[in-house]
Structure 1
Amino acid sequence: MTLSSLARLALAAAVATVFVSVAAVAQPFDGPDSADDGGDWDFFIGAGVSYEPEYEGSDKYETEALPGFQAVWRDRFLISPRGIGAFIVNQERLRVSASIGYGGGRKQKDSVYLTGLGDIKDGIAYNLGVQYDLGPLVATADVTKFGAGSKGTLVSVGLQSEVPFGVVTGLIIPTGQSPRDAFDERGLVLTGGISVDWADSNYNQAFFGVTPGQSAASGLSQYTAGGGAKSVNAEIGFAKALGRNWGLTGAVTYSHLLGDAADSPIVKTQDSLSATLAVGFSF
């Protein structure tokens, strides 16, 4: 069973941890060498590390370990420590996924810049994702509604792509096959994508606004953040098989805050970079 489609499900599920997204990218490493044993379940375990801002808008960074696990049933249902997801539609070009999980908060202790702003609670998060294959590109749209904390809505639209490194260097002549169908020939694969995030006023006010009480406690100016485009993002990464079931993946993402989010007194810089590196084993 090919798990490449579940990579997009995990990436679309905002309820998943950063690791689950990275782990999902690694899942196509099964490749032609790993024959399906006919079972209903497929499993993935792995570990990685991330380097990212302390919070969105911070100019200080932190490094975190990313252990993780996920189980997939019949290439349709996914279970991870952070939630569950399933395909509603799973056609050759069109995939629609839905998931329920937990998260979406922020801790005051995450950064000295957040002192006096209080915590944003974690809670149930509902996600609906759509992916449509456009040949060399995949168009994506994801909507996440948070049931606690900000109680806001976050929307992301973008384009993703995969290119075998041999094609870039001229060592491989494209044949029209999907890179996933010729994994043994493509070797190192470059991945990339661009996206735009939109957030409603509830989300932006929770993460970027400053209430009168927060202003008094933090010393920051009062600020009301409305809804609108929140950020633009660009990502480049790689995926590499390390044997029959092992895989290594990494990515670097650049983000630029926009609109009311960018103008918030909480924001120390509008531009940020984040990076992830993970190794995993599928069975």
Structure 2
Amino acid sequence: MFPTIAAAQDSAPAADPAAALADRAGGDAITVGLGAGYMPDYEGSNDYQFTPVPGVIGTVSGINFQVLGNRANADLIPSQPGPSWDFQAGPIGVLNFMRTKRSSIDDPRVRALGTRATALELGGFVGVGKTGVITSPYDKISLSVSYRHDVTGVHKSGIWQPTINYFTPLSTRAAVALFGSAERVETKYLSTYFDVAPSQVAASGLPAFRGRGGWKSWTVGAVGTHSITGDLLSGFKVVGGVTYRKLINDVGDSPIVSIAGSRNQWLGVLGLAYTF
């Protein structure tokens, strides 16, 4: 959000409120927030629960970063002012909480399969963005691809994730972003989270299953924000979002998903944030 607004500072007259906002966006800005998320017990579940979702997004010394829920990344290539191309690269980290707590698994069949330790997945991403593409000199579209690998020995595999993002301010107080992504995983990922061993059939009541790596899912979603006090770069704001994920191929065919859960996964978040 902040690099996009800053990119417009040379594109509008000084009297334009959006241009005045863009002038302020050249410096550091940080948004911190906390929301309530409504999401599946685990990926593939058809049981849902509420959980807190923290978030921090900002720009410090030209470095753009974000921490959203269990995911963090930083773009180490500073954005250039004005409508231009923006090249992106940096580290990414994800904490995978898939079936880590027995108490959070409502389905007795899946609970009988046991829990998993929390996996830490580390890697990096590269991407490119363009400011001023559709609605105004202020909007931005970005394409990126990331790779991360489990470094804790839980599933011992990697995940590829291509992503497309589109962001546009609606006014100096409101903005919306649309995104889509997909994930490709290795076979060990499936064996850790979605396989059912023959020895587990009696306890779980699920048929034995052994999957292979490949494309795991695709996801689309939208996020919006509206300032309560101030504008996009200051004060309190309401933030909300919704995503839909479709589990496909061997992941979708796993009994954990096709019998005990659902291939259709929804996530909703509503929260309050403060920008300074």
The secondary structure found in structure 1 opposite 2:190 is: helix
In structure 2, the residue matched to 1:138 is: 142
Q: Supply the AA of the counterpart residue of 1:189.
A: A
- Alignment of 1:274 with 2:274, yes or no, is no
Cα distance, 1:83 vs structure 2: 8.0
- Cα distance, 1:160–1:62 mapped onto 2, change above 3 Å: same
Give the TM-score, by structure 2 length.
0.73
Cα distance, 1:57 vs structure 2: 1.3
Superposed CA RMSD: 3.0
Cα distance, 1:206 vs structure 2: 1.4
- Alignment of 1:110 with 2:107, yes or no, is no
List per-residue Cα deviations over 1:51-73 (Å, max 9, x = no partner).
11111111111111234557864
CA distance in 2, matches of 1:69, 1:139: 22
In structure 2, the residue matched to 1:54 is: 41
Query: Which gives a bigger RCO, structure 1 or 2 (Cα 8 Å, sep 6+)?
Result: 1
Cα distance, 1:88 vs structure 2: 4.0
Whose helix proportion is higher, 1 or 2?
A: 1
- Cα distance, 1:77–1:158 mapped onto 2, change above 3 Å: closer
Query: Which of the numbers 137, 158, 161 marks the counterpart of 1:156?
Result: 161
- Alignment of 1:225 with 2:230, yes or no, is no
Query: Which of the numbers 78, 88, 101 marks the counterpart of 1:95?
Result: 88
Matches within 5 A, 1:184-195: 184=172, 187-195=173-181
Task: Find the structure with the greater CA-based Rg.
Answer: 2
Q: Is the 8 A contact 1:50 1:276 kept in 2?
A: yes
Cα distance, 1:214 vs structure 2: 3.1
Q: Supply the AA of the counterpart residue of 2:195.
A: G
The secondary structure found in structure 2 opposite 1:266 is: helix
CA distance in 2, matches of 1:137, 1:69: 21
Worse-superposed segment, 77-86 or 229-238:
77-86
CA distance in 1, matches of 2:65, 2:165: 21
- Cα distance, 1:259–1:103 mapped onto 2, change above 3 Å: closer
Cα distance, 1:48 vs structure 2: 0.8
Identity level (%) = 20
Cα distance, 1:78 vs structure 2: 5.0
Give the TM-score, by structure 1 length.
0.71
Q: Is the 8 A contact 1:191 1:239 kept in 2?
A: no
Q: Is the 8 A contact 2:162 2:182 kept in 1?
A: yes
The secondary structure found in structure 1 opposite 2:77 is: strand
Structure 2 alignment gaps of length 5 or more: 5-19, 81-85, 134-139
- The alignment of Structure 1 onto Structure 2 pairs a total of residues equal to 236
List per-residue Cα deviations over 1:119-141 (Å, max 9, x = no partner).
22113320312231144421121
- Alignment of 1:127 with 2:113, yes or no, is no
CA distance in 1, matches of 2:71, 2:111: 30
Structure 1 alignment gaps of length 5 or more: 6-30, 166-182
The secondary structure found in structure 2 opposite 1:203 is: helix
- Cα distance, 1:137–1:273 mapped onto 2, change above 3 Å: same
